[in-house]
Amino acid sequence: VLGARPDDPSKGYLGVTPEEQPNVPFEVTFNLADVGGPSAGLMFSLAVVDKLSPGELSNGEFVAGTGTIDADGTVGPIGGIPYKLIAAREAGATTFLVPDANCGEAQQNVPDGLRLVRVESLDSAVDSLQTIRSGGDVPSCS
């Protein structure tokens, strides 16, 4: 008996479907009320990096951000960036990590006092936070 195709259940399927699963000796759980969805992917990923690395990734600065994240660490665009920028600034954020694809819209709607940092991947976000910590220049949405 054929199985159902993962991408089209109306068609038969015979074969093997690989699945990506992390092979780590620990479990990660999040306990954040009213936070979630794909646009929180970047910030959840950064929280894991922060917990697994020495020191504080943000160096005590209030950093906010948004973006989907793929298995390879690519940061993707989200909707509603103007509202997220306003909410972050009102909460006290001084730096906001912006998916590259959202930079144009973010630049047009940035509140005073909020620095926009352009990110394309989890690695670029970590690199930018480390550069901020050392006082260097980071990619912006300009």
Candidate list 10, 11, 39, 53, residue with the active-site label: 39
51 given a catalytic annotation: no
Pairing of strands 115-119, 95-99: parallel
Burial (CB count <10 Å: 0-12, 13-18, 19+), residue 84: buried
11 given a catalytic annotation: no
Candidate list 84, 121, 124, 128, residue with the active-site label: 84
Task: Give Dmax over CA atoms of the chain in angstroms.
Answer: 62
Closest CA to 118 of 137, 135, 96, 141: 141
* Contact in structure between 6 and 13 (CB atoms under 8 Å): yes
φ/ψ of residue 88, rounded to 5:
-65, -45
Kindly list the catalytic residues: 39, 84
